Amino acid sequence: MIDPRILRDDPDRVRASQRKRGASESAVDDALAADKARREAIATFENLRAEQKKMGKQVAQAKGEEKAALLAQVKELAAAVKEAEAAQVVAEESWATALKAIPNLTAEETPAGGEDDFVLIETVGEIPTFDFEPRDHVELGRMLGAIDLERGAKVSGSRFYFLTGVGAELEFALINLAMEQAREAGFTQVIAPALVRPEAMAGTGFLDQVDDGVYRIEGDDLYLVGTSEVPMAAYHSDEILDAASLPLRYAAFSSCFRKEAGSAGKDTKGIIRVHQFEKVEMFVYTTLEESYAEHARLLAWEKAFLDKLELAYRVIDVAAGDLGPSAARKFDCEAWIPTQGKYRELTSASNCTEFQARRLDIRQRASTGSTTGTATAPVATLNGTLTAITRAIVAILETHQQADGSIRVPKALQKWLGREVLTPIAG
């Protein structure tokens, strides 16, 4: 959620952000009104409660008739306190609801508008050309014995697949390469749970997507994560971190599950859009001040990884309307997919500033204490994909294919794959 103080002191800034996203400006006025009502309810309750406490002490000391008289008096007060407290709870809840309806404030640099209003930051690598008709990843995967879509559908349904043989090997190689890079950059490697409680989902802003994006486990109040951003954001929830320990950098591996209910008919072929895949996600806790530089670093690490895969890609500054509720700014890296003739998202880096940290109550405290006490402040959270397996495989197969359907293995992957070329096993 956004900083309630900014909402109160500078509502125009929030309105401007809403405009940029194409989101409702009246949400700002609703939240402001709710804030006012909340503070009034708090004042009413607290005054009554203070009086009740004072009288309670008199009751404890009084004896006999005096006590009986006080009791009768304070009983009435107790009813009023109860009522005021209930009113306060209601006011707090509607305030929280109104506040949570407002997505994160967008960064100044974030372009206004929707999906097509992104700003191109740079294009890297040369778009591959072929002196033969390139095959798509479905065909190549079949020839290599790497991707089994038919049996995926038979066993689990559409948008499922088996990675077999070199397909499975490719996944492990990509993960090893990603984790090697993460380790060298100082990240702590993590295997994260793929099932989380509703609070974790809500804290990262994904619970709203529960109908068309997120799987819920029937009978248990658990959700399958769509990204390890969820468990990693909730990892330090309800904690106060030592400022000296920041930044905390994690590289988390987990399976990711997505319903894709809203994307019927999109990417129905192959493994571009699937219900389950594995991913290595960078997740960073740092200060708000440092978050902007860290965002740039995450992007640099993503680019370094795509460079190792020897892919052609572009980097875009995603427009406000396409950010998702948590992010203030987001860079997508999109790799060229030859048979589609366009760039497709492979990785993505978001700066969520304090938005998630406020929801999940993750704060920092300066390590040098003083007598006047140390102030706490929400941390900033950022996330960036190091590698999302299925799309990485699509890009690698299609980009590095040769006329006979064999695949030239990028140098950095050779060490982990143990060979320089992947050879078809079937025509």
Partner RNA sequence: GGAGACGUCGCCUAGUCCGGUCUAUGGCGCCUCACUGCUAAUGAGGUUUGGGUUAACAGCCCAUCGAGGGUUCAAAUCCCUCCGUCUCCGCCA
The contact pattern for RNA, residues 73-112, with x = CB under 7 A and - = no contact, is -xx-xx--xx------x-----------------------
How far, in whole angstroms, is CA 26 from its chain's centroid?
A: 26
Q: Is 363 in the site for RNA (CB under 7 A)?
A: yes
**Which residue, 39 or 269, has its beta carbon nearer to RNA?**
39
Shorter beta-carbon distance to RNA: residue 73 or 158: 73
Binding mask 228-267 vs RNA (x if CB under 7 A, - otherwise)? ------------x---------------------------
Among positions 162-221, residues that touch RNA (CB under 7 A) are: none
User: DSSP of 150-213, one letter per residue?
Assistant: HHHHHHH-TT--EE-THHHHHHHHHHHHHHHHHHHTTPEEEE--SEE-HHHHHHTT-GGGTTTT
60 is a site residue for RNA (CB under 7 A): yes
Give the active site residue among 51, 345, 365, 408: 345
Q: Is 129 in the site for RNA (CB under 7 A)?
A: no
In the annotation, is 398 catalytic? Answer: no
d(CA 176, CA 407): 19
Query: Is-catalytic flag, 345?
Result: yes
By the rule CB under 7 A, 365 interacts with RNA: yes
Where does this chain touch RNA (CB under 7 A) — which range of 117-125, 168-176, 271-279, 360-368? 360-368
Q: What would the two tokens of residue 265 be?
A: 């008919």
Dihedral (C-alpha) 148, 151, 157, 159: value to the nearest 10 degrees? Answer: 0
Q: How far apart are CA 397 and CA 405, in angstroms?
A: 9
Give yes or no: 391 in active site: yes
DSSP H/E element including 252: strand 248-257
Can you tell me the distance from the alpha carbon of 50 to that of 427, in angstroms, rounded to the nearest whole number? 83
CA-to-CA dists, residue 245 to 40, 301, 303, angstroms: 39, 21, 26
- Is 374 a binding residue for RNA by CB under 7 A? The answer is yes
Collapsing DSSP states into helix, strand and coil, what is residue 254?
A: strand
**And the tokens for 271?**
């493994």
Interface residue with RNA among 10, 26, 33, 56 (CB under 7 A) is: 56
Is 135 labeled as catalytic in the residue annotation?
no
* Residue whose structure tokens are 């992007």: 299
Residues 34-53 that bind RNA (CB under 7 A): 39, 42-43, 45-47, 49-50, 52-53
Q: Is 6 in the site for RNA (CB under 7 A)?
A: no
Please name which of 226, 194, 188 lies closest in space to residue 207, comparing C-alpha atoms.
Answer: 226
**Binder to RNA among 63, 369, 426, 427 (CB under 7 A)?**
369
CB nearer to RNA: pick between 284 and 379 = 379
Kindly write down the DSSP assignment for every residue of 256-291, as one continuous string.
EE---GGGTTSS-STTSS-SEEEEEEEEEEE-HHHH
Closer to RNA by Cβ: residue 57 or 342: 57
Q: Is 158 in the site for RNA (CB under 7 A)?
A: no
- What does the alpha-carbon distance between residue 105 and residue 312 come to, in Å, rounded to a whole number? 32
To the nearest 10°, report the CA torsion of 135, 141, 143, 149. -110
Q: Which of 273, 344, 365, 408 is catalytic?
A: 273
Rank residues 46 and 150 by Cβ distance to RNA and give the closer one: 46
CA dist list (Å): 23 to 9, 231, 321, 322: 20, 28, 8, 11
Q: Does residue 289 carry a catalytic annotation?
A: no
| Interacting span for RNA (CB under 7 A) from 69-77, 118-126, 331-339, 387-395 | 69-77
Residue from 16, 32, 37, 59 touching RNA (CB under 7 A): that is 59
Shortest distance in whole angstroms from residue 376 CB to RNA: 4
Q: How many residues does the chain have?
A: 427
- The residues annotated with a catalytic role in the active site are 258, 273, 345, 348, 391
Residues that bind RNA (CB under 7 A): 4, 39, 42-43, 45-47, 49-50, 52-53, 55-56, 59-60, 71, 74-75, 77-78, 81-82, 89, 240, 363, 365, 368-376
